[in-house]
Structure 1
Amino acid sequence: MTTMSAAFVAGPRPVSASALSFGRSGRRSRLRPARPRFPTPTSAFAALIDNALDARAGHVAVVVREDADGGVAALAVLDDGVGMVPEMIRAACAPGASCRLGDGPHFARDGQGLPAAPFALGDRFTLWSRPARGSFCAVAVSQGLTGPVAPASPMELPVFLPPGPDGSAWRTVLIIEPRRDLGPASALRRRLRSDLGFLFSRLSRRVTLSVDSVPLRARRDFARLGPSAELAGPYGLVTLSSIFSTSARPVATDGVQRWGLIGARLGRRLGPLGGNPLWRPLDADRRWRLDLDFSPDADAVLRPCAGGLELDPAVWSWLGRQGLTTVMTRLRDAST
């Protein structure tokens, strides 16, 4: 398979992600968590979409380019957010650095979607971006090489990318040279449309997400939101939203059946909540589910785990004292 570096991404000298150290002054967190892991293509793309939402994107497009044999030739994430000047592009590629705007809540949890997420999908990526009034500049980053990060330099976008929303140009474009083990492009598209539709369907009124020009939609087993309730306390605001489905057939995502309680953050689903000690019948009822949507105040007590999310035991105790079992029963009865 022809590599992207030979095909259409020849440009800035590739550098090692492990060697990058440039960041915006004053924007680096003093307590940076360990570099995140992305066990599935869905989790890597979700982190990249989170970054785009942090940049105030109204449209985010995922592109899976297919080669002549039906494999994956290239992967791309495009958004129409605020864009970046060359110095910010360079900083965005540095582990531990952050180019967040610092003026409100964020969808990304630790600011490390770049450059960790692209390397869960391939061995090289190129990041293009431009401010509102300016031209595209880009930085190319390769895994396993050494050397300081190269400054962003002017570079034209590849011609295979779709046009921006409403005829306008994209602001930020990330293109990844994929690994060979991602399987057929058609199967990857189907998986991303289903899985990303599950994770981001509650944000569909605020942002348009698509995979190869097909807008993401709520899956049939999460099609209708029901009544909601709110609990406020030491972990911020927790919004409980019920989801009722007439389908009794389970639908699996990443091998996990999405029954029971589902953890979310700012409307973005993170996965099923494990270790639910409060109401076991919920886990066996295939007609409905319940989103527990936490504000960023609860980040310290939300722990990603294999296939979902875990809550600190103190949070379960607090939810129990707030009468969560009674609230869940009321929402279930109102949903049905």
Structure 2
Amino acid sequence: MSHRLKLNQNLSNIVFSKCFVLIFALDLVIASSTGIAQTVLFDFGRHDNTNGSTITGALPVNGVAVGSATAIGDTVSYTWNSIGTGTNNQVLGNPTYSGFKDQAGGSVGWSIGSIQQSWTQANGFQNGGLSSAGTLNTRKDPSFSLLGKYAVANVTGDYWFVDNTLGTTGPASRAGFTISGLDPSLSYTFKLFGSRHNTSARYTHYFLEGSNRGYGLLQTSGQNIGSGDAGSIAGNPDTGKYDGNDANILTISGVNPTSAGNISLAFFGTTTSASLANDPNANGNSFGYLNFMEVTAVPEPSGFSLLAAGLIGLWATHRRRA
């Protein structure tokens, strides 16, 4: 091999390397400008300080209270958005909730509205929420070892729910709402948690819909389904595991908003664990729950990322030919 050929190959390698570094740097700049991995935490409940409390303990203003909280056993605080009035019925006046912040305290231009009429209800501490508040002798607090940063009693201890024992059928029987103000160029990952202490088996099915769909289910209630013990409240007759979900969080990834920036969440309850992923019009026959929700915005691969991938492939081909 001549010295000139070696020199040409070395120059070519340098050019490819510098192009790749430049494109990677540009991609980082663009990703940072789109708010990479922005995460928003939502707490749902009946916020009357009897059956449930906001993240701060203060009564909500226009149905929303925003504040910082630290999980039991943790040392790091995160910002939560508590949503819900002090009444059982969460659709009175057809509210739209806004003024949210992400978990780091930055403002978020999202809103939650179009709440399913009649079926979206709320309860909590006095009715089996995962918290030691209230008067039930079966109550207990969430555990950091099981739930991590989400182990906040005011978050897990109250919930929105739907009662599908009323004989309701089809999509009209769902609880749920629509998140607006999302970025259509991003994909979103949802983490959903539902829990209610009860010995009967209850499963909540969650349906997400934007320009595509996502689905998953959780067992929220049932005898000894918990990962932790039943609790140590004086007078608790249960010596087994907790009769509710105290550890499992459902993750649904890759949900894209509509062109208008909307994703809708609907949920309902059944008594069996059969998947309903292919049957969005199925009927519920039990209770369904939503205690908290985490939404994370995930940037789609940019044109620069795709160009970088192409350059890598071209460089590899060039190296083989050399």
TM-score in terms of structure 1 length: 0.24
Report which of the two has the higher share of helix: 1
TM-score in terms of structure 2 length: 0.25
